[in-house]
A and B are shown apart, each in its own frame.
Chain A
Amino acid sequence: MTDPTTPSTTSATRRRFLALSGGAVLGAGAMVSLRPAVATPQMQNAAIRDVVGTATVRPGKVKLDVPPLVENGNTVPLTVSVASPMTADDHVVSIHVFNEKNPQPNVGNFYLGVRAGRAQVSTRIRLADTQRITAIAKLSDGSFWSTTADVVVTLAACVEEAS
């Protein structure tokens, strides 16, 4: 993977999306007016820049465990782990998770310390659409590392009406 802020894979993603969703795309188009504003990969990139500033984000070290296909976007289990010795000299400071297509690009920020012992965090998240998740880890030396994972969502979160 390249720097996640580089939109070089946009067209490939779009092609895959079209292939996956097939005829459902027309129906989805008709629903758009009912939906809240949807985050775009540009919004995700802006949110990532808010965290990393001008630093370079390199691929590697981070592992993102998320099911490749989920039926219900309301509770998607997610685990982020980082290859790190977690010593005073070399440890993970924080882990940040972003999404492309929820109404808001941020998912969560998790702050660890030397005493964490292991750089791993699990939670459950909502996904409004089939999309790519990005996890970024900040290390104690100031470097940033990232990985991405694609998730296909069959029943989206956020779009149902409140009762």
Chain B
Amino acid sequence: MPALINVPAKAQRGDVVEIKALMSHIMETGFRHTPSGEAVPRDIITNFVCRYNGVEVFRADFFPAISANPFISFFTTATDSGTFEFQWVGDKGFLETASATIAVE
């Protein structure tokens, strides 16, 4: 799995929980050159979305200034038991998804 996801397994209804997501990716900036002077083409993740039981709760646009293996952490309110779905979209047709479940009491 190229993605590393951290979602609390359990939460009380109404709790604000932290979500952490890391995707393994080179994030080639497009501003580097090889020793022979050729430009290295850009290859980055451009978009990240997190949906909670189908509802978008967080979205991000990434630029070359985001480090390799982009890491993102954000918060959401635990409303119902269910699934978090994560999606990364990038250059050269890059598409990865991951999911995690949460039990809300």
Contact = CB atoms under 8 A, between A and B. Distances in A.
Contact of B32 (A108, A127, A158): A158
Contacts of B72: 121-123
B58 A111 contact: yes
Contacts, number: 107
A126 B29 contact: yes
A2 interface: no
A102 B31 CA distance: 10
A112 interface: yes
Given A118-B16, A122-B71, A126-B65, 13 more contacts: A36-B31, A36-B32, A99-B65, A104-B31, A108-B61, A110-B74, A116-B57, A117-B16, A120-B75, A122-B73, A124-B70, A126-B64, A158-B32
How would you classify the secondary structure of chain B's contact residues: helix, strand, loop or mixed?
strand
B29 A121 contact: no
B66 A107 contact: yes
Nearest to A161: B35
Interface of B: 16-17, 29, 31-35, 40, 52, 55-68, 70-77, 79
Interface of A: 36, 74-76, 99, 102-104, 106-113, 115-127, 158, 160-163
Contacts of B32: 36, 158, 160-162
